[in-house]
Amino acid sequence: MSGVVLVTGGTGKTGRRVAEQLSAAGSEVRVASRGGPQPFDWSDPDTWDAALDGAYAVYLVPPPGSGDVSAAMIAFAQAAVARGARRFVLLSGSPMPEGGPGVGQTHRWLRENTTDWAVLRPSWFMQNFSEGQHLATIRDEGVIHSATEDGRIPFISADDIAACAVAALTGPEPLNRDFILTGPEPISYDEVARHIGEAAGRPVAHRRISAEDLAAWYRANGRPAILAQMLGMMDVMIAGGVEDRTTDGVRELTGRAPIAFDAFARANAAIWAQAGNTLYRGVACPLCEGPADGQDISGEPQARSRSQ
C-alpha cells in the first residue's frame, strides 16, 4: 500500500496510538483533529478536502457527542472515495452491529459501497481506568463506581486496538469484515479494583451503585441527560452478561495475544499510586475513543459518547 494514511480522531485514545505505530512502521501519516496541525471537524465539510488530499487509507473514528453520527461519517466517506481513498477502517464498538443506530449505519454503508474496508468493534477500554472517567475517583477516593454488579467485561488495551487498526490499514489484502476485539479474559469490576489496588499498593474498591445513581453521577459531572442515561443502561446490560465473552480478533489481525488486565495494571501502577493531582476530570463513555467534549487535556480529547 502506498499513499497517505489519514487518522481521524488523531489525538484520542486509539487515534494517537495508531498514528504513532504507523509512523514507527514507516507509513506516511496525517493526523486530523480539531486542534491538531491538520484542522479537521466532522461538522465542517470545508475542512475535509485538505485532510483527504492524497489519502489512500482512512481510519474513521466517530465524532464526539451522543447524537446520530452516521450522516456526517457517510458524507465524509463519500468525499473520501471521490478524492481517491480506497481503504477504510472504522472504529465501532462491540455492542454496535452493522445497520444499528449511529456508527452501525456507517458500517453498513462501507460494506455496501466500498471494496476495501474493515470495522473494529472493541469491548471496553482498559484506559478508562488510566486516562478516562474512572481515573479521578481511583486516585482521589480509591473507588470505582459502577452499576455492573458481578457482570464481566473482556477489557482491551487501546494499544491492542491500535495494533489491529494498523494491521487493517496496511495489510496486503482487503479484509471486508468486522472484528469484535476483546482482551484475553472477561473480568468483573471487583477484579479490576483488586488488580489496580495490588499494582498501585493502595486499597481500591468497586462501589456498586444503581443505574439511576450512576446516571445522576454522570449528569453531575457534566454529561447530557440522554448520554448519562445511556451509560447507566450500558452497565445494566453488562450486569446481564452482554459482554461476558472473548474472541480471537486481536490474534487474527496481529498474530499475537492481547494484553491481560493484570499486566496493564502493573504497567500503569504509578498513575494510581497516590491520590491528588488528577489530570483528567472529564467523564467519557466507557467505549469511547476519548473523553466526551473533544477538548484536549494533556493531549487527550476530553470526552466523547461511547469507549469503549
R_g (Cα) of the chain, nearest Å: 18
Q: In this structure, are residues 93 and 308 in contact, taking their beta carbons and an 8 Å threshold?
A: yes
Residue-number span of the structural domain to which 142 is assigned: 4-303
Distance CA 181, CA 63 (A): 20
pLDDT at 65: 64
pLDDT at 101: 87
| Helix, strand or coil, per DSSP, at residue 264 | helix
Distance CA 192, CA 265 (A): 9
Beta strands in 142-211 (DSSP E): 143-146, 152-153, 177-181, 187-188, 205-208
Tell the residue number behind the cell numbers 481510519, with chain if given.
59
Q: And the C-alpha cell for 153?
A: 467485561
The domain spanning residue 197 has which CATH number? 3.40.50.720
pLDDT at 29: 97
CA angle (61 as vertex; 114, 156 as ends), nearest 5: 110
Contacts from 2-5 at CB under 8 Å and sequence distance 24+? 2/56, 3/28, 3/54, 3/55, 3/56, 3/57, 4/28, 4/29, 4/30, 4/53, 4/54, 4/55, 4/56, 4/57, 5/29, 5/30, 5/55, 5/56, 5/57, 5/58, 5/59, 5/169, 5/170
Chain-centre distance for alpha carbon 272: 21
Phi then psi dihedrals of residue 92, to 5 deg: -115, -140
Q: Could you tell me the sign of the dihedral formed by the alpha carbons of 195, 232, 118, 252, in that order? A: positive
pLDDT at 279: 40
Distance CA 208, CA 3 (A): 49
Residue 308 counted as domain residue = no
Strands 187-188, 152-153: pairing kind: antiparallel
Residue 205 counted as domain residue = yes
Tell the residue number behind the cell numbers 467485561, with chain if given.
153
Contacts from 291-300 at CB under 8 Å and sequence distance 24+? 291/131, 291/132, 291/133, 292/64, 292/65, 292/223, 292/227, 293/64, 293/222, 294/34, 294/64, 295/35, 296/11, 296/35, 299/11, 299/16, 300/11, 300/12, 300/13, 300/131
Of 73, 64, 67, the closest CA to residue 34 belongs to: 64
Domain count of the chain? 1
| Overall residue count recorded for the chain in this entry | 308
pLDDT at 1: 57
Residue 107 counted as domain residue = yes
Distance CA 285, CA 65 (A): 10
* pTM over cut 0.75: yes
For the chain of 308 residues, list the mean pLDDT of each consecutive stretch of 10.
Answer: 89 95 97 88 95 97 78 97 98 94 95 98 97 92 97 98 98 97 98 98 97 94 88 96 98 98 98 61 49 30 35
Distance CA 92, CA 62 (A): 8
